[in-house]
Amino acid sequence: MQIIEISPFQAFRRSVTTVMQVVPKELRYVAILTLLGGAGPAIAIWLNKIIIDEITRLLSTGTTQNAIALILSQPVLLSSIAGSLLVNLVSDAIANINSFVYTSLRDRITGFIQGQVIEKVATFEDIALFETPDLLNLLQLTEKGMQRLPELCIRLVTMLEGIFIFIPAILLSVSLAWWIPLILFSCVTPAMYVERKYRKQVWRVEKTQASLLREMNLYKTVLTGETYAKEIRLFSLQPLLLERWYGLYRTIFRAMEQIRRRGTTAVISWSLLSGLGFALPYLYVVQGVLDRTHTLGDLALYTGVILEVRRSLDNLMSGGSELYDIALATTPIFQLLELEPQLSSSQSKSWGKIRESAANNQNFQRNGNRESLSGEALQTGIDIKNLSFTYPNSERPILKNINLKIHPNEMIVLVGENGAGKTTLTKLLCRLYDPSQGAIIWNGEDLRSLPLEDLRSRIDVVMQDYARFPTTVRENVAFGNLPKMQDDEAIKEAIAEAGLAKVIEKLDGGLETLLGKQLEGGIDLSGGQWQRLAIARALLRLSPAELLILDEPTANLDPKTEHEIYNILRTLAKGRIAVVVSHRLALAKLADRVVVLEHGQIIEVGTHDELIALGGQYHLMFTRQASSYN
Ligand SMILES: Nc1ncnc2c1ncn2[C@@H]1O[C@H](COP(=O)(O)OP(=O)(O)OP(=O)(O)O)[C@@H](O)[C@H]1O
């Protein structure tokens, strides 16, 4: 999978487009209010100048009137003071409204972008997304990007505000001397450049440290998650794991701290220069007042103007740097959204062709609302041809030159030592991965040429690490066949067949009982009960399935239930291909053929009796297991 390059500019453009798409109205309100608010400081400064000049004039007349009566008798002074108060009030109101609108705007952008990312990850066909370090790093960086995207609005607004304050202030400063804006501008440019450079460095460090951050988050999950809580306490692992978390934190923090320190020193040095630059125009006005070419009001006006120009330039500078920072931080979001799975269905052939041939053979059946092919429709079975496989994040081949023809209606049991590659082979049959070499031929068609979703709808599976959904009993079962969500009879039948009827009957909420201790009112099941629930899920899905895959379906079951499940398995496997992975060799006796895997290669294939007679690896495994029961 290729992560495409996106420049900060492209990321910025896409961020702005996203924000404008999600909150166009709010953004317009904020922009209009900011525009109104932007004129405020210039007006206030202007009014201030009038007030000071008026007061100076009145004082020079030697009036003895009391202050209130004096103000009330001077319409210019009075209206200027009233205007100044009004401008302050309006500015405050605008700031409050803006902060309210911004909060709602931030929530909506966060919800939108999180939804996009979750949808992308959840519907991404390629399981390698969760196993390839580069992609995991991208996911990690996306988290930060999602936090920063809503800030784009406030930064854009800050920039806008900067511009709105800047334009009137700069016009006023030109009226004082044409060179003043030039000096002010050239003073902030170096600091702006240095800040941009420093942000880029911070981003580079963040990118290279994504894997460390991911590791740190993993330790956090281990230290605070329920899955590990018992063993961590029983084995007193807290000090060791905490030390690892702190170690990673210190490494990341130190590197960031170094860059921040260097960056801040450089930015402060350049800001000092800009401070000196701002002093020049100020001294110029003071000199003008002393020379009597300017009034005291002028001094107040120009001092205010210089400060406002500086404030607006600061706004522009910090807004620009932040926008650059946000553009960098949001790059991974768009890289993730553009990511194309390698398991693409693009070259997919239509199932129509296969359906057609099956229909011609009268094997087409209807099941509930959906069309499905019966087990017999898998007429030529599954042919695994010269298959080799290496996981995307590794160099070590896990399966080597596998050749196996599975006949229609056949039940195969895969056996072999831990790590032999049994589960990996079942993952390839479900097309969670594509073979590195060779092919899996399904009914005469390469698996890669079949529509992925349709293919998966024809497969029923109980995984070794089956899911424990934190939802109701009903949903835990019906997730196997969504159209049957409200079919109580079918759900109860599947539960009964999986041997869970009594357990569920005893629950107060029955099918609606919430499973999962983390949920309010939720309860937990035992390991074996969860496994039986996963089997019930598979049972509900069974009718449309042409291929049934069971990976260690009885690992957590007691001997009595295990025996019951063996009997159910026989029924399950009928009329379809069944591939079962099991270390329980009693199960192998039920199979049409047993396939023995060792170090990723098939070393023996045959019926139980044939392999026992062969006296090879299977014979050894079987006799060892049998002797351990004697
Ligand atoms: N996602 C993965 N990425 C890289 N290597 C993997 C991945 N999953 C499994 N492996 C490796 O592939 C090898 C085969 O694993 P697999 O789970 O297929 O074995 P298995 O025969 O099912 O073992 P067990 O009986 O213990 O379940 C192991 O060495 C394992 O380390």
pLDDT in tens, 258-282: 888 888 888 777 777 777 777 788 8
Q: Average pLDDT for residues 27-34, to the nearest whole number?
A: 81
**Cα–Cα distance between 329 and 401 in angstroms, integer?**
44
ipTM above 0.95, yes or no: yes
Tokens 């400063």 belong to 173
CA of 425 to the centre of ligand 1 (A): 10
pLDDT band at 96 (very low <50, low <70, confident <90, very high): confident
Whose alpha carbon is nearest atom 25 of ligand 1?
418
Q: What local confidence, expressed as pLDDT, does residue 441 receive?
A: 93
CATH number for region 8-338: 1.20.1560.10
Tokens 């045959």 belong to 606
Q: What local confidence, expressed as pLDDT, does residue 386 receive?
A: 95
Sheet bearing 397-406, strands edge to edge: 397-406, 382-390, 437-442, 445-446
Query: Among 68-72, 462-466, 529-533, where is mean pLDDT lowest?
Result: 68-72
Residue 551's nearest CA partner among 423, 456, 459 is 423
CA atoms within 13 A on the CB side of 20: 8
The CATH topology of domain 382-627 is Rossmann fold (3.40.50)
DSSP state letter for 579: E
**Cα–Cα distance between 348 and 224 in angstroms, integer?**
44
CA of 588 to the centre of ligand 1 (A): 21
Query: Among 209-223, 369-383, 554-568, where is mean pLDDT lowest?
Result: 369-383
Q: How many CB atoms lie within 10 A of CB 360?
A: 9
* Extents of the domains making up the chain: 8-338, 382-627
pLDDT band at 367 (very low <50, low <70, confident <90, very high): very low
Sheet bearing 601-606, strands edge to edge: 459-462, 547-551, 577-581, 411-416, 593-598, 601-606
Of ligand 1's atoms, which has the minimum distance to the CA of residue 396? 5
Q: What are the b/e assignments for 602-620, b being 16+ CB within 10 Å?
A: bebbbebeebbeeeebbee
Helix segments in 498-546, DSSP class H: 501-506, 527-541
Same fold, 8-338 and 382-627: no
Ligand 1 pocket, residues with Cβ under 6 angstroms = 131, 391, 393-394, 398, 416, 418-424, 464
CA atoms within 13 A on the CB side of 383: 9
| Residue type, position 433, single letter | Y
CA of 418 to the centre of ligand 1 (A): 8
pTM score: 0.74
Mean pLDDT of the chain: 84
Q: Please name the residues in contact with 613: beta carbons below 8 A apart, sequence gap of 6 or more.
A: none
Tokens 């496997």 belong to 573
**Cα–Cα distance between 473 and 491 in angstroms, integer?**
9
Token pair for residue 450?
A: 């079949």
Q: What local confidence, expressed as pLDDT, does residue 69 receive?
A: 82
CA of 420 to the centre of ligand 1 (A): 7
Query: Among 317-326, 432-441, 559-568, where is mean pLDDT lowest?
Result: 559-568
Element housing 388 (H / E): strand 382-390
Token pair for residue 260?
A: 């921040």
pLDDT in tens, 35-53: 777 778 778 888 888 898 8
Highest mean pLDDT among 56-65, 72-81, 350-359, 603-612 belongs to: 603-612
pLDDT in tens, 398-413: 999 999 999 988 999 9
Q: What local confidence, expressed as pLDDT, does residue 348 receive?
A: 46
